[in-house]
């Protein structure tokens, strides 16, 4: 099964006595595979709900951010700006429409 993997996975495979077959993706392929990886990691989080899966989702989001030319600081600043303007999700408000 071919897929985008973390940077140290080939080393881990070699340490296990196997020979990984890998290649470096071009920019377009990388962005496409990051989107697939995000879907994979979100699905794993949905099934598991563990903090480890949350961390995997975050890792992929950070990689997408940087691959699209943004810094993590920029991402966090935009997140904070939106939170300041519209709030977060801490109060568990569920909108059911208008009357």
Helix (H) or strand (E) holding 35: helix 27-48
The pLDDT tens digits for 20-76 are 999 999 999 999 999 999 999 999 999 999 999 999 999 999 999 999 999 999 999
Task: Locate the domains of the chain by residue range.
Answer: 25-84
pLDDT of residue 1: 84
The pLDDT tens digits for 19-31 are 999 999 999 999 9
57, 38 Cβ separation under 8 angstroms: yes
């Amino acid at each position: 099964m071919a897929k985008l993997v973390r940077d140290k996975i080939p080393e881990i495979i070699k340490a296990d006595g196997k020979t990984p077959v890998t290649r470096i993706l071009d920019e377009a392929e990388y962005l496409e595979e990051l989107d697939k990886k995000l879907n994979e990691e979100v699905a794993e989080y949905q099934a598991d709900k563990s903090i480890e899966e949350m961390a995997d989702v975050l890792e992929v989001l950070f990689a997408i951010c940087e691959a699209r030319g943004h810094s993590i600081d920029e991402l966090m600043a935009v997140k904070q700006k939106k939170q300041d303007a519209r709030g977060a999700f801490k109060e568990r408000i569920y909108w059911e429409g208008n009357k």
